[in-house]
């Protein structure tokens, strides 16, 4: 606006009055960038908030700027962003890793369980028999329940808005199924003339249940296998309500394009609940039995082994003992024998010495005996019994006779000791007086009488022989001129 | 991906099911039709570069004893009324169905299909009946499920009309 002439300015003032100053002030505010910034700053937050409520244009407009700013910030100083993100990223990464590990462990565990248990083999048989996959059979047998499919169906058209199917579950053409679900609903209503507000909320076939929740514009249906828990109904109703809150307009204006309902995926996926059969912690009897069997066998084996060893040891010990005993016995025997030998030697020595002694003794005795013999022989041979003249009688009580007997007997003993046989010849003698005949008879009588007297006195007859002095064969020395008898001792 | 619900209507034994069988490979057996009164099939096609799924509701035929369950018609984007050219009364039934739909559901893209074109020499439709059909303003197509004549064209034509209506 140009300044114009003072008149014009005057005219303006007259026309607008006090508002003219305000207008000028406003103009000034827009033209002065500082003032303008100040005035915009005071309302910019409110303005942004208001606009973001109206539509998404703000995020569209700011999106590239924010991205660019972030990009630059990361490029300039990555550490700062890292520091900012650290408290968020750390736990997130940890959680993610932990979850992955847990899942891996769980999988391995299940794999092991399914590979080795009797139950698993039964399932395999069932799978083979029914022609279904093993995974499906296993799932069916272990689940208490599982939400297999979630349908979001447009109520008026029966067209499918969104569909979610659980892993491992089988889903036939969901568009057709959703149509049939609504058709069946209509069919039931028509067929049984139920109250207009009543709806078919549960379909059940065998272990399969379809829970249906009718909203004003959309039908939410859960296909559940197994025993449906009560809370699923609640979850279904909540989900349906949430959908109607957020998408009422879109549902009303639905013309067959279901693309925008893909945003409901997380909400519907939340309904894919399932509960596995609580793994009953049954005691694994079979395994225990096997273990016990093995342990038993081991223990028995060990026991047997030790028993055997002990027996062997005992046997060995016994044999060793026996051997030792034998050795000891042998040693004892040896010692005994040694002792015996020693004793024998001693005794032999003794014997030898004895023998020697004996020999000596014998020799001594022999000498003594010989002396005795000589002495006694001499004593006998010199003995004189004084016969009376011309008499041949022998007085038995004569001391000479007794002496003679005693000597003869002693000599006999000595001779026997000397292994000699004694013979005492009694030779009758006479003196020169008398006749030959008489003398001869007398000598004979005298000899015989003495012989008899000696026998009677105890001398054995075998020792004695009586002769006449004149008897031929006798030595000449036998004949003596005396009245008596002489003796000749002979030892053989 | 756009989904459209369309209904096959018409008198009893005019060949609705045979026409659908010509067009789609079904996952349900025909017994649904007699038990529940409806059988649904799907046909995926491309129209003007758009992926379209036609959900085809085969609705049990109407005769003197049974009437169409109108609940099944709710939400459809278009419909085909099938007439047996050899039976003139099926044309009257077709017209009454058309009237009924307009009254209960509203104005929707529709097509009249005069089936059994293979037996055209035996057709007994008179000029008055054909005129009435023409007066309805709906396209009248001749089809033969037996010889696969005009079947796909019929569905495409309906699709086109539905697309035009919805933009």
pLDDT digits (tens, 9 = 90+) for A233-257: 888 888 988 888 888 888 888 888 8
User: From the CA of A278, how many Å to the nearest CA of chain B?
Assistant: 37
Residue B36, chain A, CB below 8 Å: the answer is yes
Q: Between B27, B40, B77, which is nearest A183 by CB? A: B40
Task: Assess whether pLDDT exceeds 90 at residue B155.
Answer: yes
A153 CB neighbours in chain B (<8 A) are: none
Assess whether pLDDT exceeds 60 at residue A23: yes
Label residue B19 exposed, middle or buried (CB < 10 Å: 0-12, 13-18, 19+): buried
Token output for A312? 């062997």
The per-residue pLDDT for B141 is 93
> pLDDT at position B83, please?
93
How far away is chain A from the Cα of B129, in angstroms, using its nearest Cα?
Answer: 32
Of A156, A159, A184, Cβ closest to residue B55: A159
pLDDT in tens, A312-340: 888 888 888 888 887 887 888 788 777 77
Q: Estimate to the nearest angstrom the gap between the alpha carbon of B87 and the chain centroid.
A: 17
Average pLDDT over residues A207-221: 88
B1–A contact, CB cutoff 8 A: yes
The mean pLDDT value for A13-30 works out to: 84
User: What are the residues whose beta carbons fall under 8 Å from the beta carbon of B147, sequence distance 6 or more?
Assistant: B117, B118
Helix (H, G, I), strand (E, B) or coil at B59: strand
Size of interface A-B (CB pairs under 8 A): 75
Alpha-carbon span A230 to A222, nearest angstrom: 13
Say if the Cβ atoms of A176 and B3 lie within 8 Å: no
- Separation between Cα atoms, residue A46 and residue A59, nearest integer Å: 15
- Mean pLDDT, chain A, integer: 80
**What residues of B are in contact with residue A253 (Cβ under 8 Å)?**
none
Q: Could B40 and A255 be called an inter-chain contact, meaning their C-beta atoms sit closer than 8 Å?
A: no
Q: What local confidence, expressed as pLDDT, does residue B166 receive? A: 60
pLDDT confidence tier of residue A180, bands split at 50, 70 and 90: confident
Contacts of B104 in chain A (CB under 8 A): none
With 0-12 / 13-18 / 19 or more C-beta atoms within 10 angstroms meaning exposed / middle / buried, residue A199 is: middle
Distance from the A187 Cα atom to the nearest Cα atom in chain B, whole angstroms: 6
> Binning pLDDT at 50, 70 and 90, where does residue A216 land?
confident
Q: Is pLDDT at A151 greater than 90 in this prediction?
A: yes
Q: Minimal Cα–Cα distance from A178 to chain B, Å?
A: 10
B21 lies within 8 A of chain A by CB: no
CB B17 within 8 A of CB A174: no
Res B63: pLDDT: 67
Lowest mean pLDDT among A57-66, A69-78, A384-393: A384-393
Contact between chains at B74 and A190 (C-beta distance less than 8 A) = no
Give the 3-state secondary structure of residue A303: helix
Chain B partners of A172 at a C-beta cutoff of 8 Å? 27
Query: What local confidence, expressed as pLDDT, does residue A1 receive?
Result: 46
- pLDDT above 80: residue B116: yes
Using N-to-C axis directions, what is the helix angle for A78-116 and A118-130, rounded to 10°?
A: 80
Based on its alpha-carbon atoms, the radius of gyration of chain A, rounded to whole angstroms, reads: 81
pLDDT at site A221: 92
| Distance between B44 CA and the closest CA of chain A, angstroms | 11
Res. A57 pLDDT band, cuts 50 70 90: confident
Q: CB of B2 within 8 Å of any CB in chain A? A: yes
Nearest CB partner across the interface for A189, out of B3, B71, B76: B71
Write out chain A residues lying below 8 Å of B28, CB-based. Answer: 176, 180
Q: What is the mean pLDDT of residues A62-82?
A: 86
Instruction: Quick: pLDDT tens for A292-301.
Output: 889 999 999 9
Within an 8 Å CB–CB cutoff, is residue B41 touching chain A? yes
**Minimum distance, in Å, between the CA of residue A185 and any CA atom of chain B:** 10
pLDDT band at A13 (very low <50, low <70, confident <90, very high): confident
Instruction: Read off the pLDDT of each residue in A13-23 and give the average, rounded to a whole number.
Output: 83
DSSP track, A179-246: HHHHHHHHHHHHHHT--TT----EEEETTEEEEEEE-SSEEEEEEEEEPPPHHHHHHHHHHHHHHHHH
Which has the closest alpha carbon to A188: B27, B69, B127? B69
3-state class (DSSP) for residue A459:
coil
- Mean pLDDT score, B108-129: 89
By C-alpha distance, which of A419, A397, A399, A396 is closest to A407? A399
Domains delineated in chain B: 2-166 (3.40.50.300)
A176 and B27 within 8 Å at the Cβ level: the answer is yes
Residue A31, helix vs strand vs coil: helix
Residue range A186-197: mean pLDDT, rounded: 73
Looking at residue A120, its pLDDT comes to 79
The whole-angstrom separation of Cα A452 and Cα A480 is 21
Scan residues 80-109 of B and list those with Cβ closer than 8 Å to A. Answer: none
pLDDT at B137: 87
Q: Which of A211, A208, A189, A187 is nearest to A198 (CA)?
A: A189
> Average pLDDT in the B32-60 region?
84
Decide if A178 contacts A190 (C-beta within 8 A).
no
Whole-number Å distance between alpha carbons of A487 and A449: 14
Placement of tokens 């490029």 in the chain:
A75
* pLDDT (mean) for A247-268: 86
Query: Phi/psi class of residue B10: alpha, beta or left (left: φ > 0; alpha: ψ in -120 to 50)?
Result: left
Please give the biggest Cα pair distance in chain B. 44
- Bigger pLDDT: B118 or B167? B118
Please, which residues have CB within 8 angstroms of residue A323's CB and are 6 or more apart in sequence? Answer: none
**pLDDT for A193 beyond 70:** no
The verdict on a CB contact (< 8 Å) between B4 and A156 is no
Cβ neighbours around B81 below 10 Å, total:
29
pLDDT at site A472: 62
Q: How far is B38 from chain A (nearest CA, A)?
A: 7
User: B74, A176: Cβ pair inside 8 Å?
Assistant: no
Q: A194: pLDDT confidence band, cut at 50, 70 and 90?
A: low
Stretch among A138-142, A235-239, B78-82 having the lowest mean pLDDT: A138-142
């Amino acid at each position: 606006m140009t300044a114009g002439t003072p008149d014009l300015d005057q005219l303006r003032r007259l026309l607008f009055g006090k508002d003219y100053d305000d207008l000028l002030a406003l103009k000034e505010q827009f033209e002065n960038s500082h003032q303008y910034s100040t005035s915009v700053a005071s309302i910019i937050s409110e303005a942004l908030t208001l606009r973001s409520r109206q539509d998404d244009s703000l995020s569209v407009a700011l999106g590239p700027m924010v991205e660019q700013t972030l990009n630059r910030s990361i490029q300039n100083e990555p550490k700062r962003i890292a520091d900012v993100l650290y408290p968020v990223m750390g736990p997130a990464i940890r959680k993610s890793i932990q979850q992955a590990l847990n899942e891996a462990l769980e999988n391995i565990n299940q794999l092991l369980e399914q590979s080795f248990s009797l139950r698993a083999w039964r399932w395999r048989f069932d799978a083979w028999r029914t022609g279904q996959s093993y995974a499906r059979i296993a799932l069916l047998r272990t689940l208490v329940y599982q939400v297999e499919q979630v349908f979001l169906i447009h109520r008026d058209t029966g067209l499918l808005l969104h569909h979610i199917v659980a892993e491992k579950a089988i889903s036939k053409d969901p568009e057709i199924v959703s149509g049939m679900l609504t058709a069946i609903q209509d069919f039931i209503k028509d067929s049984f003339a139920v109250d207009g507000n009543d709806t078919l909320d549960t379909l059940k076939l065998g272990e399969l249940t379809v829970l249906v929740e009718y909203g004003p514009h959309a039908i939410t249906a859960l296909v559940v296998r197994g025993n449906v828990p009560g809370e699923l109904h609640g979850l279904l109703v909540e989900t349906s309500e949430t959908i109607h809150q957020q998408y009422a307009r879109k549902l009303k204006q639905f013309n067959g394009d279901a693309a925008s309902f893909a945003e409901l995926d997380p909400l519907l996926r939340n309904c894919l609940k399932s509960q596995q059969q609580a793994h009953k912690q049954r005691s694994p009897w079979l395994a225990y039995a096997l273990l016990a069997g093995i342990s038993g066998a081991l223990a028995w084996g060990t026991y047997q082994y030790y028993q055997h060893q002990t027996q062997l040891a005992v046997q060995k010990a016994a044999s060793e003992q026996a051997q030792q005993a034998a050795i000891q016995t042998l040693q004892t025997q040896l010692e005994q024998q040694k002792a015996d030998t020693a004793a024998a030697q001693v005794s032999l020595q003794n014997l030898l010495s004895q023998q020697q002694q004996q020999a000596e003794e014998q020799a001594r005795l022999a000498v003594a005996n010989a002396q005795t013999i000589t002495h006694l022989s001499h004593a006998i041979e010199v003995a004189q019994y004084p016969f009376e003249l011309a008499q041949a009688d022998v007085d038995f009580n004569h001391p000479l006779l007794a002496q003679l007997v005693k000597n003869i007997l002693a000599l006999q003993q000595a001779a026997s000791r000397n292994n000699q046989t004694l013979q005492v010849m009694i030779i009758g003698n006479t003196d020169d007086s008398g006749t030959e005949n008489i003398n001869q008879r007398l000598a004979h009588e005298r000899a015989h009488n003495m012989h008899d007297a000696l026998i009677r006195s105890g001398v054995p007859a075998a020792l004695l022989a009586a002769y006449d002095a004149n008897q031929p064969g006798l030595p000449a020395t036998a004949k003596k001129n005396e009245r008596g008898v002489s003796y000749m001792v002979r030892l053989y | 991906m756009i989904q459209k619900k369309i209904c096959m209507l018409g008198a009893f034994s005019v060949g609705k099911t045979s026409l659908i069988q010509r067009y789609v490979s079904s996952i349900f057996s025909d017994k649904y039709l007699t038990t529940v009164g409806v059988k649904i099939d799907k046909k995926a096609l491309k129209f003007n570069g758009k992926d379209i799924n036609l959900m085809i509701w085969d609705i049990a035929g109407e005769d003197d004893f049974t009437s169409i369950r109108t609940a099944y018609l709710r939400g459809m984007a278009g419909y085909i009324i099938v007439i047996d050219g050899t039976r003139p009364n099926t044309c009257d039934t077709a017209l009454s169905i058309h009237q009924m739909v307009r009254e209960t559901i509203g104005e929707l893209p529709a097509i009249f299909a005069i089936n059994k074109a293979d037996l055209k020499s035996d057709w007994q439709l008179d000029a008055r009946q054909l005129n009435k059909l023409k007066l309805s303003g709906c396209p009248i197509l001749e089809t033969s499920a037996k010889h696969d004549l005009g079947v796909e064209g019929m569905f495409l034509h309906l699709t086109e009309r539905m697309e035009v209506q919805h933009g």
